[in-house]
Amino acid sequence: MIGQFIDGPLWTFSLAVFVIGVVWRIVTILMAGNRPDLSTPRGSASSGAIRTIFSRSVYERTAATRGRLLQIAGYLFHIGLFALLFFAKPHVDFYAERITGFGWAAMPHWAFILSAELAFLGLLLLWIHRLLSPVTRLLSDLDDHLGTILVFLVMLTGCLALAQSFEALRLIHLLLAELLLIYFPFSKLMHTFTFIMSRGYTGATMGRKGVNA
Amino acid sequence: MSEQFEQGVEVLRQQIDAKISSYFSSCVHCGLCAEACLFYTETHDPRYTPIYKLEPMRKLWRREHTFWGKLGAIFGLNQPLTEQDFADWKTLVYDSCTLCGRCSMICPVGNDITYMIRKQREGFSVAGYAPDGMKEATVRALKIGSPMGVTFKTLKAALAHVEKDTGLEIPIDKKGADYMTLFSSMEIVNFPEYIESIARIFEAAGISWTVSSKAFEATNSGIQIGNKEAAAELVNRVVVAAEELNVKYVVSPECGHAYTAIRWEGPNLIGRQYPFDVVHILELLEQLKNDGRLQLEGKSVAPMTLHDPCQIVRRGGVVQQPRELLDGVAENFVEMKEHGVMNWCCGGGGGVSANERAEPLRLRVFERKKKQLQETGVNTMVTACANCRIILEEGIEHNEMDTEVISLTELVADHLVDGPK
């Protein structure tokens, strides 16, 4: 009964909240508007925007030790999570059945294990850093911790579900993923989408000035 | 709650555009921006983390632009912005930020934190929380025409000295000249050698130029304090003067924020494009050199390094020109380890130099520039901003260092080929 609810209506509801919520957040940001820049450009705003959207993913060498740890942990977590989310076989099958109607090549089991280890290591490093560093302790709020905890639990139950192959574990994993989808548009997790806007805006501003940002 | 505070909050509310909304939405509180800020690296005080300086604006954004903020406001679960917030944050907003823009270059999600602080200052200024020194400088700029109280009479006296020393005539209010040159008060008062250098270089290159008696001041306190009305008024004086003289170009002097004010913010402040182009003096010199109109001879053999003024280089885009000019006149040019768009600020930009309250902190964070200098092992530092220059000289004096600071324009003038061009 509960399993059917998690597998059926709750999945549909959470997906709808996620999609509508994300679109709503992006639209509200865009609707805030920006004034047109009347200064004579030295360079191209669009080229600057595109460059910065990609270049800010490149390792920043000028950061000090703490900054290097943050960046490496960030790479581990995001690359590992991306691989798990889109190339773990159960996920590919799930998307094909529930969303896309078609599948794609999934990664082998060893790659799944490696991705999971990288993602866990990165997430835990970032979280430990958040708890220990005076800078992030001062900055962090409930949302920062809630998002981390939810992602951690989704990843943990996902790995357990794959390892144990119990239906109950799969349902717990799906339930947590659904809670994450519902929470997503109202949280910092929105940076998954809005980073393109923030990088783009800054890149465009700096591109007009002829600065590679 | 005072009326002035409410007006400040309203102005702050008006600053939240799509850029700022996307920046707050993207920030994951990683704290990496702290590593880019000299106020943090030299003190290790987490309050100096750049994004933390924006908590008042974030509080307003969260309450009025997010689901949880709006829900919390309905049920009284989150507090609105208070006068105490402004009082608690005023030193972070004005004393510990030079608007240098280094944090904006390092943020992983691309937030232009400097832009946000510049905008936040608009609200703080209207609410009455700007530092007295900056407020007084702005009043002097509006009333007298210069933040340091320099009048046209003062400039005229300085120009007379230059004319006497060089034997050159400095054209004033010459209609139809190609270039109208601006100065900063600091150049007129502290570094008149800059004016002399300009006169000699322009004569040598055969430049048609003039100085306006109505608008000679390039600096703009309104930009630093965060008062767009004052900033627009100061920009407009220059624009009107340039239009009256029908010049093709306005030359921004060796002053960082003056360049940002007139080149990048100016048209947006007055709401229209200029009928002339704005060119920074370094851009012009490099152009003249490339065109063969600026003939230089000999090179200084003393090892030299370059301090990149933040508003000219990182925030202004004049990155290669100073290097190409230096290569033409310096035999042993040594780059600092972190240079160009990632150079470290002198510590006195963004109005901090006009803020007496900030002086002890400013001198403390000069340690970063001191380390940079010591890494190069060079005793001559070239720069292209009068404000940087005075701040660097103060820091050097305070630290009893054996370092000379010179102007790049003056250095170029020292290498002019003699004789008529």
From first to last of the 421 residues of chain B, give the pLDDT tens digit.
799 999 999 999 999 999 999 999 999 999 999 999 999 999 999 999 999 999 999 999 999 999 999 999 999 888 899 999 999 999 999 999 999 999 999 999 999 999 999 999 999 999 999 999 999 999 999 999 999 999 999 999 999 999 999 999 999 999 999 999 999 999 999 999 999 999 999 999 999 999 999 999 999 999 999 999 999 999 999 999 999 999 999 999 999 999 999 999 999 999 999 999 999 999 999 999 999 999 999 999 999 999 999 999 999 999 999 999 999 999 999 999 999 999 999 999 999 999 999 999 999 999 999 999 999 999 999 999 999 999 999 999 999 999 999 999 999 999 999 743 3
Q: Interface pTM (ipTM) of the complex?
A: 0.96
- pLDDT value of residue B177: 98
Residue B201's nearest CA partner among B282, B257, B309, B259 is B282
Last residue of a domain, one of B129, B155, B179: B129
Residue type, B55: E
Contact between B277 and A40 using a beta-carbon 8 Å cutoff: yes
Residue A119's nearest CA partner among A163, A160, A168, A156 is A156
Indicate which of A35, A57, A202, A212 best probes the interface with B, i.e. most B CBs within 10 Å of its own CB.
Answer: A202
Contact B106, B32 (CB under 8 A): yes
Note down the domain range covering B86. 3-129
B23 Cβ partners below 8 Å, 6+ apart? A198, A201, B109, B111, B112, B113, B116
* B134, two tokens: 């900056």
B157 Cβ partners below 8 Å, 6+ apart? none
The CATH number assigned to the domain holding A11 equals 1.20.950.20
Note down the domain range covering A87. 2-34+65-207
Residue B277's DSSP bridge partners are: B249
- Rounded to the nearest angstrom, the gap between the alpha carbon of residue B87 and the centroid of all alpha carbons in its chain is 25
Q: From chain B, pick out residues whose CB is under 8 angstroms from the CB of A66.
A: 35
Query: The tokens 């905890």 sit on which residue?
Result: A149
Contact between B30 and A199 using a beta-carbon 8 Å cutoff: no
Query: The tokens 């150079």 sit on which residue?
Result: B343
- pLDDT value of residue A66: 85
* Angstroms from B112 CA to nearest CA on chain A: 6
Query: The tokens 């006009």 sit on which residue?
Result: B354
Instruction: Give the number of other Cβ atoms within 10 Å of residue B407's Cβ.
Output: 22
In chain B, whose CA is at the least distance from the CA of A193? B26
The count of residues in chain A is 213
Last residue of a domain, one of B290, B317, B339: B290
| Residue B168 touches chain A, beta carbons under 8 Å | no
Number of domains in chain A: 1
Indicate which of B13, B23, B29, B336 best probes the interface with A, i.e. most A CBs within 10 Å of its own CB.
Answer: B29
Q: From chain A, pick out residues whose CB is under 8 angstroms from the CB of B274.
A: 40
Q: Rounded to an integer, what distance in angstroms lies between the CA atom of residue A206 and that of residue A47?
A: 10
Q: What are the CA-CA distances from residue B92 to residues A79, B52, B60, B352 (Å)? A: 36, 9, 17, 11
Residue A60 in any domain: the answer is no
Contact A46, A207 (CB under 8 A): yes
- pLDDT value of residue B420: 38
Q: Rounded to an integer, what distance in angstroms lies between the CA atom of residue A28 and that of residue A47?
A: 25
Last residue of a domain, one of B246, B263, B290: B290
In chain A, whose CA is at the least distance from the CA of B115? A202
Residue A76 in any domain: the answer is yes
Q: Rounded to an integer, what distance in angstroms lies between the CA atom of residue A4 and that of residue B144?
A: 77
| Report field, pTM of the whole predicted structure over 0.90 | yes
Residue B299 in any domain: the answer is no
Number of domains in chain B: 3
Where b means 16+ CB within 10 Å and e means fewer, B176-207 reads ebebbbbbbbbbbbebbbbbbbbbbbbbbbeb
Handedness of CA A104, A110, A112, A114 (dihedral sign): negative
Q: What are the CA-CA distances from residue A197 to residues A25, A46, B74, B109, B372 (Å)? A: 12, 12, 29, 9, 34
Q: Are residues B310 and B268 in the same domain?
A: no
Contact between A210 and B267 using a beta-carbon 8 Å cutoff: no
Q: Are residues B125 and B140 in the same domain?
A: no
List the single residue in A56, A144, A190 with the smallest CB-CB distance to B29: A144
Q: Are residues B189 and B334 in the same domain?
A: no
List the single residue in A74, A135, A197 with the smallest CB-CB distance to B108: A74
List the single residue in B41, B110, B115 with the smallest CB-CB distance to A195: B110
In chain A, whose CA is at the least distance from the CA of B276? A40
Phi, psi at B17, each rounded to 5°: -105, -170
Q: From chain A, pick out residues whose CB is under 8 angstroms from the CB of B41.
A: 64
* B64, two tokens: 């009025």
What residues of chain B, 318 to 347, have a C-beta less than 8 Å from chain A?
319, 338, 341-342
* Angstroms from B45 CA to nearest CA on chain A: 8
Q: From chain A, pick out residues whose CB is under 8 angstroms from the CB of B311.
A: none
Phi, psi at B179, each rounded to 5°: -120, 130
Contact between B104 and A213 using a beta-carbon 8 Å cutoff: yes
Where b means 16+ CB within 10 Å and e means fewer, A88-99 reads beebbebbeeee
CB pairs under 8 A between A and B: 173
Q: How far apart are the first and last CA of chain A?
A: 54
Residue B275 in any domain: the answer is yes
In chain B, whose CA is at the least distance from the CA of A43? B317
Q: Are residues B105 and B195 in the same domain?
A: no
pLDDT band at A164 (very low <50, low <70, confident <90, very high): confident
Contact B133, B348 (CB under 8 A): no
Q: From chain A, pick out residues whose CB is under 8 angstroms from the CB of B317.
A: 42-43, 206, 209-211
Residue A197 in any domain: the answer is yes
Indicate which of A53, A195, A205 best probes the interface with B, i.e. most B CBs within 10 Å of its own CB.
Answer: A195
What residues of chain B, 4 to 63, have a C-beta less than 8 Å from chain A?
16-23, 25-32, 34-36, 40-41, 44, 46-47, 49, 51-52
Q: Are residues B270 and B317 in the same domain?
A: no
Cα–Cα–Cα angle for A48, A52, A55, nearest 5°? 135
What residues of chain B, 56 to 85, have a C-beta less than 8 Å from chain A?
65-68
- pLDDT value of residue A64: 80
The CATH number assigned to the domain holding B321 equals 3.40.50
Residue B184 in any domain: the answer is yes
List the single residue in B46, B115, B265 with the smallest CB-CB distance to A135: B46
The CATH number assigned to the domain holding B188 equals 3.40.470
List the single residue in B31, B111, B277 with the smallest CB-CB distance to A135: B31
Handedness of CA B145, B149, B151, B154 (dihedral sign): negative
Mean pLDDT score, A197-208: 98
